[in-house]
Structures are given as structure tokens and as C-alpha cells.
């Protein structure tokens, strides 16, 4: 559980006071830096007496105060809030926050809709970085969606039909100015599809490559139906003139069956030597090459011959090139705890809880010490940072009331915090508990959940979200998981199932008896966590690699607890550390790796650091990368070489 540190708490108080104060300034008038520095007071931490006493939030010489104020504004902007400036008659500059820059329109979910929202966030959400604990009563584990603060301004720009500017890392890190058209999610990866300002070119921008908070520009635009149609047709592998290609490969019976299920229109025919010939049509030669590389030595390419020549050239360049000294690589450390975001999550959880939430409930949901919860929530109850400039505590926009069962022992009481909006001026809406990015997360999670649960409340919740945001979100789902419904039923009914399973690198399926417990979605694929009685351990299986369910029976024994909480992305937390140097155009292949760390090199290449649980995984990764990627870690300098030779020997 999180501990309480004095410096962090003083920073938290200052940040939350400033962000709420500047939101209030939107209604009552912009505040200058001099006003804020002169009057904003917070509690002093660590406490020097029985309780904290009030101190100025910004103390020190003029330069130090200015730097601290600018840092605080930057941290507020990192959450997606837009701090606007206003020129005063005396030449001063005032600051205010438009609440709608961070918060989406208010949505009321029915109890049934809230129930499916909880389910959806467990299946496919941002994890602890998102809205999970706002709705669910347990701490968040890992999430299946890429989390980004950049969703907030992008969704707002889509809602308002306003242009955007942001820095973007492609071949080089450059500023971009675009007219946003939609957000597309392909294989679990999110892209902004937009028109380049001043041109008719439609491009996709991966959120993970944005390097600065997008800024919503005052310029508005109205896209034509033709432009929107092109945007909806955009895909990550988009080319202006796609050239379909017919492909023929031979493989074993098991892998052929897997291909026929995964690729619509694929045809298989048995050959005399026991092999199976599979024919399929792909959108482009590039996609065909990717297909053969993903299959690796499990298939033999028969035609076309032109692709065989290209494949041979590719194999010659697997993990070849000049690496870089590991001593020269400086990776950024893990992200620090976002105290402002954490406080707002606690506040929003109380906003959506009709009867309020107790200290113990908030502590469990957010994995916090109860004393830490009291410290944060009591501050929101009593927050009144500029008493002389406001109409009292009731006018300050936290709107939290504390109910205590034992006021004489308040420090240990399991108090309840609830929202109260009775003091809002007439005609003013209640504060929304949702950031724009929260509604994006809910939308995608609900769409994925609709593949698993046939519940009308899922679709009514999606309709409410899309009606409120007026923005277009396009999701390309995985559709080849034919046994997903059977796996889900096994979870719901507590069944043991016997499966034929083909791993990511094996040719033949193995028989496993598993007891499924939970499913989640990551990078466009559904995974199931199950107790494997064959291996006598907890294991993770990809649903589209289950060839068949050959037997079903009730579970009869208690199983040990799963020791891995973040089982979906545990590949990023254990195993050997590897550093690979990649050309910028190959980042897409390594970006989905859980917990990968990046740094840019002076020559324009990038270094990525991650962990692998076995050499076989790295062999296949380097095979798919081809020219432009080289392992810098000496122990894995020959990764992929033997695999490339085995494939080349079949050509």
C-alpha cells in the first residue's frame, strides 16, 4: 500500500487546490499569478504539532516561486486540462481552466449499465491508470489498453471539430498540425486518424509516439463526407494503391486448420506426403511477407516466386548490423506516482457512488493505507484555499461531505465520504466524474465486452457515451476466436475443459486440461488465465490458439491461489533483460511489448529495453524485424540466426 510522505502530500495539496481553484475561476474570473502566490494557502506537511497549520503554497524568492508555479501548471496540463490565459486592463495576465477541457459531459448509467461497465473494465481497460477502481470494488490489475493522457485533448478536439498540434516521433521528432477525424483502434493499438492541415492527405498517428500534450487550437473545421469515408478506410498498413496477392504454402494438418480458422476465405487441400496445401489471399505483398515471417519454419512458401526472392533477402539480414555500447544508453526511469491524478480518481469514485464510500472501501479499491485515504479525502472536505476571495467552502467545487460514526475517534473511524451538490447555483450541472479519456476507455472496453457478453445494457451504455461525446471511435476487433463463448461458459459455470492447444512457436498441438478463471484482451487478442492440471500450475493461454475443446467436466478440487496478479503482462516483469537497437520505422513491432522502455540515439535510431522469458520468443521477434534491428545485449547477439537459416534451407 502507498505510504504517506510529507513532501508529496504538500505537493498534492498545492496541486489539487490550484486545479480546483482555476476551474472555479472559469465562472468567477481569471486569477493572476500574483493573486495566487499572495493568497493561496495549504496545510503544512509533515505536521509539526497535533495537526497541520496553514502556510503559503508558494514561498521563496521570485524566481523559485515562478519555477514552482510553472511546474505545477505543466503537471496540470499533463492530465489534459487546458489552462487559458486572459489579459487584464492593467497589463497583468490571469489564469483559468475550462472544466470541459478535461471533463466529458455528464452521463448517468442505469444500475444494469454500471454492472456491465464494471465487467468491461475488468476485460479490457487501462488498469490502474484508468477508471477501473472508480467502478470496481477491488484494486486494478494490469490493463489491456494502451493508456495515454493524450486521449483527453484529442477527444475534446473531435467533439468540437477543432484542429490540433502536437510533437510526434516518426523518422524524427517534429511538430504536427492536423484536423482530427477519428480514433481508430487496430489490434488493441490506438491511432489518431487526421487530415494534415493545409493539405488533403489523411494520415494515422499512433498515440504512443506523441511526445507532447496535444493542444486544441481555436481553428474549427467541417470535414466532408468523402474525407470521413477515407478516414474510416484508413488502416496502419494503408497504401494508396493496395495490390492483393494470392499466396500458397504447405504445412502440417494442425497448422493448416489454424490458418483456415484465422484467415477468412483460406482453402486447404491434403497432399500425398501428408502435408496440407493452404491457399489464401492477402491485401498486399508486404502483408504476405509478414504472414510468412509470422509462420516462420512452420510453413513452406510455394508461390509466388517473387515473394520467395524477397524472403531470402530478408532472412540474410536478420539481426545483422552495428549495435551500440550499452554504457551509452540512458533509459528513462519508471513514471512517478501521479498525486493529482490519484486524488481526482478518489474524488470521482465518490461522485459516482450514490451512497458514498467508506474509508475502508476507498483504501481497498485504490490500494492505499486508510490513514492516507483520510488525509486526502479530509482535505477535499475542508478545502478552502482562498477564503477571502471565495464565498466560503460551500462554493468550492470539491463537493464532498464526511459522515463519521464516532467523531470522538475520527482518526480511526471508518467514515463515509459522499458527494453533495445541493449548493450548486440553479441551472448549473453537477460536476462530471469522467475525463474525456475515461469515456474513450469505457467505449472500447464495452465494445470488446460485447463479443463476450450478449447484454443489451452494453449497447445502451455505448449509445450514451457516443451521444455525449459526438466523436467517432472505430474499433477493429479480433473475429477469429471461435471458441471464446465456450471458454467464457467454462468460467461462468466453473468447468474444467480439455483442449488441444498450439503455442505461438509449436507446429503440433498439445493436450491440456485447464480450469479457466478470467479472460482479458491485450493487443487485439483475448487471453484466458487458467489453472493447468497438466502442468500443475497457473498458465495463460491465447484463445485463438485453442484448436478444439475435446472434453468438459465440473471442477472437483480447490486450487492454490494465483500468485501473479498482473498475469496479462507478466512477460514484461520477468525473464532476461534484452536491449535491441531499431530503426524508427520498426518501433511499431516492439511498442506492444509490456513495460518496454525507450531512448533515442543521436543517429536517429532507437533503443528498446524489455524482458523475455525464453530465447525462442526473441528469435521470432528478430525474424519479424529483419534488417534495421540488432540485439545490443552480448548474450543474445545471435538471436534469430539459426531460425533464419532453417527457413532459408526450405526455399
Q: Which of 395, 444, 471, 417 is nearest to 153 (CA)?
A: 471
450, pLDDT greater than 60:
yes
Kindly indicate the confidence band of residue 241, based on its pLDDT and cuts at 50, 70 and 90. low
Model pLDDT, residue 47: 57
Query: How far is CA 44 from each of CA 47, 57, 411, rounded to the nearest angstrom?
Result: 6, 9, 18
Model pLDDT, residue 203: 93
pLDDT tens sequence across 165-194? 999 987 778 999 999 999 999 878 899 999
pLDDT tens sequence across 263-298? 888 999 998 888 999 999 988 888 889 889 988 888
Mean pLDDT of 57-74: 86
Model pLDDT, residue 150: 92
Enumerate residues 6+ apart whose C-beta is below 8 A from 257: 268, 547
Which domains does the chain possess? 1-99 (no CATH), 245-315 (3.30.70), 326-332+571-648 (no CATH), 484-568 (2.30.30)
Cell digits for 205?
A: 498517428
Model pLDDT, residue 269: 92
Model pLDDT, residue 264: 81
Highest mean predicted confidence (pLDDT) among 4-13, 138-147, 632-641 = 632-641
393, pLDDT greater than 50:
no
pLDDT tens sequence across 482-496? 889 899 999 999 999
The beta strands (E) that lie in 510-633 are given as: 510-522, 525-532, 537-542, 546-554, 576-582, 597-600, 606-612, 629-631
384, pLDDT greater than 80:
no
Model pLDDT, residue 560: 92
d(CA 577, CA 195): 40
Q: Which of 526, 528, 529, 533 is nearest to 496 (CA)?
A: 533
315, pLDDT greater than 50:
yes
498, pLDDT greater than 50:
yes
3-state secondary structure 161-174: CEEEEEEEECCCEE
Cell digits for 148?
A: 495515454
d(CA 380, CA 178): 39
User: pLDDT exceeding 70 applies to what percent of the chain?
Assistant: 91
396, pLDDT greater than 90:
no
d(CA 541, CA 502): 10
339, pLDDT greater than 80:
no
Cell digits for 407?
A: 467523531
Mean pLDDT of 574-588: 86
Highest mean predicted confidence (pLDDT) among 21-30, 357-366, 416-425, 542-551 = 357-366
Cβ(251)–Cβ(295) below 8 Å: yes
User: pLDDT exceeding 90 applies to what percent of the chain?
Assistant: 38
Q: Which of 341, 389, 385, 387 is nearest to 366 (CA)?
A: 341
Model pLDDT, residue 391: 45
417, pLDDT greater than 50:
yes
Model pLDDT, residue 276: 92
d(CA 182, CA 154): 9
Model pLDDT, residue 390: 46
DSSP track, 127-165: GGGTTHHHH-SS-----SSPP-TTHHHHHHHHHHTEEEE
Model pLDDT, residue 335: 46
Task: Give the largest Cα separation in the chain, rounded.
Answer: 91
Amino acid at each position: 500500500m502507498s505510504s504517506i510522505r510529507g513532501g508529496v502530500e504538500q505537493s498534492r495539496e498545492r496541486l489539487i487546490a490550484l486545479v480546483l481553484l482555476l476551474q472555479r475561476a472559469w465562472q468567477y474570473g481569471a486569477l493572476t499569478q500574483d493573486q495566487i502566490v499572495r493568497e493561496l494557502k495549504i496545510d503544512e506537511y509533515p505536521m509539526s504539532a497535533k495537526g497541520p497549520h496553514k502556510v503559503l503554497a508558494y514561498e521563496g524568492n521570485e524566481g523559485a516561486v515562478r519555477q514552482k508555479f510553472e511546474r505545477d501548471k505543466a503537471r496540470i496540463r499533463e492530465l489534459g486540462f487546458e489552462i487559458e490565459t486572459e489579459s487584464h486592463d492593467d497589463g497583468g495576465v490571469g489564469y483559468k481552466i475550462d472544466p470541459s477541457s478535461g471533463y466529458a459531459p455528464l452521463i448517468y448509467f442505469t444500475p444494469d449499465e454500471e454492472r456491465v461497465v464494471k465487467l468491461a473494465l475488468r476485460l479490457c481497460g487501462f488498469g490502474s491508470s484508468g477508471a477501473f477502481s472508480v467502478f470496481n470494488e477491488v484494486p486494478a490489475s494490469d490493463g489491456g489498453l494502451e493508456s495515454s493522457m493524450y486521449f483527453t485533448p484529442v477527444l475534446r478536439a473531435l467533439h468540437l471539430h477543432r484542429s490540433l498540434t502536437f510533437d510526434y516521433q516518426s523518422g524524427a521528432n517534429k511538430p504536427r498540425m492536423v484536423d482530427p477525424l477519428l480514433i481508430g483502434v487496430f489490434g488493441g493499438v490506438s491511432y489518431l486518424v487526421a487530415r494534415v492541415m493545409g493539405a488533403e492527405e489523411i494520415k494515422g498517428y499512433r498515440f504512443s509516439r506523441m511526445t507532447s500534450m496535444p493542444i486544441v487550437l481555436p481553428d474549427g473545421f467541417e470535414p466532408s463526407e468523402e474525407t470521413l469515408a477515407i478516414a474510416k478506410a484508413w488502416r496502419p498498413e494503408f497504401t494508396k494503391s493496395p495490390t492483393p496477392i494470392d499466396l500458397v504454402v504447405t504445412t502440417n494438418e494442425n497448422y493448416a486448420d489454424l490458418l483456415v480458422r484465422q484467415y477468412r476465405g483460406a482453402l486447404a487441400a491434403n497432399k500425398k506426403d501428408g502435408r496440407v496445401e493452404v491457399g489464401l489471399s492477402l491485401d498486399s505483398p508486404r502483408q504476405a511477407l509478414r504472414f510468412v515471417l509470422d509462420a516462420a519454419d512452420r510453413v513452406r512458401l510455394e508461390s509466388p516466386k517473387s515473394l520467395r526472392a524477397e524472403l531470402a533477402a530478408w532472412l540474410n539480414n536478420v539481426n545483422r548490423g552495428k549495435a551500440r555500447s550499452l554504457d551509452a544508453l540512458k533509459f528513462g526511469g519508471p513514471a512517478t506516482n501521479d498525486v493529482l491524478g490519484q486524488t481526482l480518481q478518489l474524488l470521482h469514485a465518490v461522485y459516482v457512488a450514490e451512497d458514498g464510500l467508506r474509508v475502508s472501501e476507498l483504501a481497498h479499491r485504490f490500494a492505499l493505507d486508510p490513514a492516507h485515504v483520510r488525509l486526502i479525502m479530509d482535505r477535499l472536505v475542508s478545502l478552502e484555499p482562498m477564503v477571502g476571495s471565495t464565498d466560503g467552502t460551500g462554493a468550492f467545487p470539491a463537493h464532498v461531505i464526511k459522515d463519521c460514526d464516532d467523531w470522538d475517534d475520527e482518526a480511526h473511524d471508518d467514515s463515509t465520504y459522499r458527494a453533495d451538490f445541493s449548493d450548486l447555483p440553479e441551472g448549473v450541472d453537477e460536476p462530471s466524474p469522467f475525463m474525456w479519456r475515461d469515456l474513450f476507455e469505457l467505449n472500447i472496453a464495452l465494445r470488446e465486452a460485447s463479443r463476450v457478453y450478449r447484454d443489451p445494457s452494453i449497447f445502451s451504455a455505448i449509445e450514451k457515451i457516443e451521444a455525449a461525446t459526438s466523436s467517432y471511435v472505430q474499433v477493429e476487433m479480433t473475429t477469429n476466436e471461435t471458441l471464446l463463448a465456450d471458454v467464457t461458459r467454462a468460467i461462468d459455470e466453473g468447468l474444467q475443459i480439455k483442449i488441444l492447444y498450439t503455442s505461438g512457436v509449436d507446429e503440433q498441438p498439445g493436450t491440456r486440461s485447464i480450469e479457466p478463471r478470467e479472460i482479458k484482451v491485450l493487443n487485439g487478442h483475448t487471453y484466458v488465465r487458467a489453472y493447468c492440471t497438466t502442468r500443475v500450475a497457473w498458465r495463460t493461454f491465447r484463445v485463438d490458439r485453442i484448436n478444439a475443446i475435446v472434453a468438459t467436466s465440473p471442477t472437483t478440487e480447490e486450487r492454490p491461489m494465483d500468485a501473479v496478479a498482473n498475469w496479462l503482462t507478466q512477460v514484461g516483469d520477468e525473464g532476461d533483460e534484452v536491449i535491441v537497437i531499431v530503426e524508427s520505422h520498426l518501433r511499431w513491432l516492439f511498442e506492444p511489448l509490456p513495460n518496454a522502455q525507450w531512448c533515442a540515439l543521436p543517429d536517429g535510431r532507437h533503443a528498446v529495453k524489455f524482458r523475455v522469458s525464453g530465447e525462442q520468443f526473441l528469435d521470432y521477434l528478430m525474424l519479424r524485424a529483419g534488417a534495421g534491428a540488432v540485439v545490443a545485449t552480448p548474450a543474445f547477439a545471435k538471436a534469430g540466426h539459426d531460425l533464419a537459416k532453417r527457413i532459408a534451407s526450405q526455399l
